[in-house]
């Protein structure tokens, strides 16, 4: 968007805006909450655990990952030295995780984010409503919300609103296909299957992003409750599995 609309100076755009606030049109972007969370998990995971054969994973010692590894070790009654390769701190990009390792890591990640008491995972998993509200106690109303799922149509609406009529010079790019991502990163379809198979895990995710579902116009996934009957369990502490 910045590439295509860079042909017009900002001042020229602002003079044309029919916004209720003089000179400004407040525009935000949004993505389906579940898809965004899975993408955020993949991003956090690849930064933490995926590296080359001799590379050092700089963020590998994050507590929720150590808890997940400890849970797997306790469940299998294995000492740390005999952990499966895919549960050691740093993973090669071409080494896929086992199903057990994926479940342990993803469950603890979701529990950690929902609780956010011991070791929050910060900006990658904040609600979109927080960003759209401007991180202030007095958020500005949005004149237009661009949804990733209907981006072409929404961008056309934005261009019409600001009087932009030039031909696009920069095509929109598609999300990188799963086949192009490192095999060491759990695929989104596998993570989505975990959510479908574990209602409590899906409800935890809905609890995290309930504001986004309600405020941004996305329907709740089937199986999620707006007001869950029971609070989810907090994540385990590191010392609980050592």
Specify the higher pLDDT residue, 79 or 126. 126
Report the number of distinct structural domains present in the chain. 1
- Structure-token match 């963020």, residue found: 59
Section 20-39 average pLDDT: 81
Share of the chain above pLDDT 90, in %: 12
Contact 40, 125 (CB under 8 A): yes
Share of the chain above pLDDT 70, in %: 55
What's the pLDDT tens digit per position in 84-102?
A: 444 455 666 677 778 888 8
Contact 4, 165 (CB under 8 A): no
Question: How far is residue 41's CA from residue 39's CA, in Å, rounded to a whole number?
Answer: 5
Please state the pTM of the whole predicted model. Answer: 0.69
Domain range for 196: 2-240
């Amino acid at each position: 968007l910045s590439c295509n609309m860079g042909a017009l100076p900002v001042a020229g755009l602002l003079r044309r805006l029919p916004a209720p606030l003089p000179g400004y049109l407040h525009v935000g972007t949004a993505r389906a909450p579940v898809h965004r969370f899975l993408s955020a998990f993949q991003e956090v995971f690849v930064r933490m655990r995926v590296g080359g054969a001799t590379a050092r994973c700089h963020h590998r010692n994050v507590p929720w990952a150590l808890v997940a590894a400890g849970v797997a070790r306790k469940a299998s009654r294995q000492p740390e030295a005999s952990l499966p390769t895919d549960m050691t701190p740093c993973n090669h990009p071409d080494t896929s995780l086992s199903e057990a390792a994926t479940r342990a890591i993803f469950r603890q990640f979701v529990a950690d984010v929902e609780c956010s008491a011991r070791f929050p995972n910060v900006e990658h998993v904040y609600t979109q409503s927080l960003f759209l509200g401007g991180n202030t106690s007095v958020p500005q109303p949005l004149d237009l919300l661009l949804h990733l799922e209907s981006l072409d149509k929404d961008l056309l609406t934005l261009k019409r609103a600001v009087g932009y009529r030039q031909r696009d010079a920069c095509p929109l790019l598609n999300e990188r296909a799963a086949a192009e991502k490192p095999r060491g990163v759990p695929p989104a379809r596998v993570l989505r299957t975990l959510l479908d198979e574990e209602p409590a895990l899906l409800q935890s995710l809905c609890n995290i992003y309930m504001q986004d579902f309600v405020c941004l116009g996305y329907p709740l996934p089937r199986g999620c409750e707006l007001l869950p009957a029971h609070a989810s369990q907090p994540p385990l502490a590191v010392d609980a599995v050592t």
